[in-house]
Amino acid sequence: MTNLKVIGKENVAGYEFTGIEGGFEKGKRGMLVRDIAEIHNRPTKVINQAINMNINRFTEGIDLINLKTSNVAVNQIDLGFNRNQINASKYIYLLSERGYAKLLKILEDDTAWDIYDQFVDGYFNMRQQFKKPQSAMELIKLQNDAMIEVDERVSYLENFKKDYDENRQIDEEQVIKLEKARKRRAMQLVGGKDTQAYKEFYSIILRNKMYPDFRNKFNVNRYRSLKIKYFDQALKFLESWEPKKETKYAIEYANQMELNLENEAV
């Protein structure tokens, strides 16, 4: 059975929440989803749903613990829950630092990213007591352990940031660039606004040809869902997109017929 210790109310970055130690590695701290929901200004059930929809990304006992089902020794009343809340809740999640970091990736919450470092430094990595070394060898060991912990944390955060940067979605400015590239390419293909092909095919190419090809190519239903690591590739795709032969022939035929009519009129 794992014992949890309720430290009391903690204050970090202007947010008050219940401090909890234990449940994960020795001396590691955790945060209740109830408190995380308040920080993100979202209902607790929304955070629980986000976790449950991505539960395969979380490792039980390392990233999270469900206090309703896990073999933990804790008085949930001490955690600030009343009896009705305890009985009505199927999930009372406790997240570790790593679990909270994974949740941030899922939520893509800018507010939480702004305070994430403060929570890591000001809460997750704090200790209730500092063990005073009793000998020179013990001091060396503590220093070595601290260096290893720092290296591991830096490596983890670097990998986490790289993964986040590569998998986050494009922003509105990039959406606008893609849309402009699509319109510009469609205009090139029909030969400009003053052509017969523009009247007949411009809208068709935009909506019925290019956009479906784009969605199929990148497996998205809208520009905003595109991951930023594919942005350059997507831009080149739109800038160099080519219609099928029958569409090309139809464009050429429409413009040629218009030219013939103009020549006859002369």
pLDDT at 260 over 70: no
- Whether residue 77 is found in the same domain as residue 150: no
- Whether residue 151 is found in the same domain as residue 184: no
pLDDT at 49 over 60: yes
Look at the chain and report how many structural domains it folds into.
3
Pair type for strands 2-3 and 93-95: unpaired
- Whether residue 98 is found in the same domain as residue 108: yes
Instruction: Please name the residue ranges forming H helices in the chain.
Output: 33-39, 44-53, 83-88, 97-107, 110-119, 136-167, 172-190, 196-204, 211-218, 231-239, 245-265
Residue 95 confidence (pLDDT): 86
Phi, psi of 256, rounded to the nearest 5 degrees? -70, -40
Contact call for residues 250 and 201 (beta carbons, < 8 A)? yes
> Which domain-ending residue is among 141, 167, 193?
167
- Whether residue 124 is found in the same domain as residue 143: no
Q: Which of 8-12, 36-40, 196-200, 222-226 has the lowest mean pLDDT?
A: 8-12
Predicted confidence (pLDDT) per residue in 128-143, tens digit: 444 555 667 766 776 6
Q: In angstroms, rounded to a whole number, what is the distance separating the alpha carbons of residues 12 and 118?
A: 7
Predicted confidence (pLDDT) per residue in 108-119, tens digit: 766 556 666 666
- Whether residue 177 is found in the same domain as residue 158: no
- Whether residue 121 is found in the same domain as residue 161: no
Predicted confidence (pLDDT) per residue in 214-259, tens digit: 999 999 988 988 988 899 999 999 999 999 999 999 999 988 887 7
- Whether residue 81 is found in the same domain as residue 138: no
- Domain enclosing residue 55, as ranges: 2-128
- Whether residue 182 is found in the same domain as residue 135: no
